[in-house]
Amino acid sequence: MINNASKAAQEELKRKGYKLTGPRIAIINYLAESQEHPDMQQIFAGIRAEYPGIGMATVYRTLGLLLELDILRAITVNKNQLLYELKKPDDHHHHLVCTGCSQIIEFGSCSFKHISSEIETVTRYSIEDHTLEAYGLCPQCQGDFQVERG
Amino acid sequence: MINNASKAAQEELKRKGYKLTGPRIAIINYLAESQEHPDMQQIFAGIRAEYPGIGMATVYRTLGLLLELDILRAITVNKNQLLYELKKPDDHHHHLVCTGCSQIIEFGSCSFKHISSEIETVTRYSIEDHTLEAYGLCPQCQGDFQVERG
DNA sequence: GTGTGTGCAAATAGTTTGCATTCGG
DNA sequence: CCGAATGCAAACTATTTGCACACAC
């Protein structure tokens, strides 16, 4: 059960009629414990540590299921890297990716809602969602960069 | 030479010491003429029409080169679809993707600069860049949706 | 018990690389 | 000419699928 996020995800799975199997619990626990934003390889490796018999196909299928059920969110950084995070209720945040060490932190400020209606008026689209990722150097890498230059 | 965007890209290649070959010109012309935001498959298919002998590897290598030289921009939509567009000078825009028909239009309003310094203060990151994509229904698909519901 | 879920391996898709040949400058 | 660029095929990586078996309910 590990923590609240894990518990909520497991209950949601069950509520929607899916079986709570060993592999699924292991995957959900891994995601719930993970403080970073792991990619597929990290998830697979991390789960293997606790559940050695698991196969890649199961991880792919389970992540796909969790995404479909809106339990999991996928974000894309650096054009082609897919990362995952369990959804939390009412948590609208975006990601700030360090271009030096790839560390990712979350930020809550999002000004998109301020211009959303303007864009709707101009374009006549009805906007449902958006993604926003920012890139820059973290404090540590700013320091390293100073050192490199001497 | 086709148009200004093509001309500018070709000159930039030459200026940086790369050869202006048939395949490269065909790829640049295709990108410069393209009004939509094509993906790799569309680019390859489109160029084959004009330059039948071209190989996939050349397209991959050329797109990689143009990205590296900052002549081309890649955007990611729907988590895992990579689309390309030639860069134009001083053109800061983002993309609005129709969740019905996948049509993409550009919008110029971007409120990120308003919160950028706030995020820098809070996080101590130095922000260099950002991506923003919005999703919603285009006017046409909003109509179709009404019809479907009767 | 029953049918969903799993692991494995094979199939598929997407991208990169090695190398002989071609071609732009 | 000469070296960079190309086309082809093979290699490599990532993801999906088919199927016999296992396990949650």
For the segment A29-59, what is each residue's pLDDT rounded down to a tens digit? 999 999 889 999 999 999 999 999 999 999 9
Residue B149 has pLDDT above 70, yes or no: no
**How far from B122 is each of A33, A144, B71, CA to CA, in Å?**
25, 20, 33
CB contact under 8 A, A127 and B74: no
Q: Which percentage of chain B shows pLDDT scores above 90?
A: 86
A60 touches chain B (CB under 8 A): no
pTM summary value: 0.92
Domain ranges of chain A: 1-88, 92-150
- Identify the architecture of domain B92-150 in CATH: 2-Layer Sandwich (3.30)
Q: What is the per-residue pLDDT across A93-121, written as a single tens digit (0 to 9) for each?
A: 999 999 999 999 999 989 898 899 999 99
Provide the pLDDT for residue A89: 86
Nearest CA among B33, B111, B43 for reference residue B74: B43
CB contact under 8 A, A125 and B115: no
Q: What is the per-residue pLDDT across A12-29, written as a single tens digit (0 to 9) for each?
A: 999 999 999 999 999 999
Per-state percent for chain B, helix, strand, coil, to nearest 5 = 45, 25, 30
Nearest CB among A114, A116, A134 relative to B127 is that of: A134
- Identify the architecture of domain A1-88 in CATH: Orthogonal Bundle (1.10)
The answer to whether A100 and A85 are in contact (CB under 8 A) is: no
Residue A92: pLDDT band by 50, 70, 90 thresholds?
A: very high
**How far from A6 is each of A31, A32, A36, A95, B29, CA to CA, in Å?**
8, 5, 16, 22, 52
Residue B35: pLDDT band by 50, 70, 90 thresholds?
A: confident
Residue B117 corresponds to which tokens in the numbers above? 């310094």
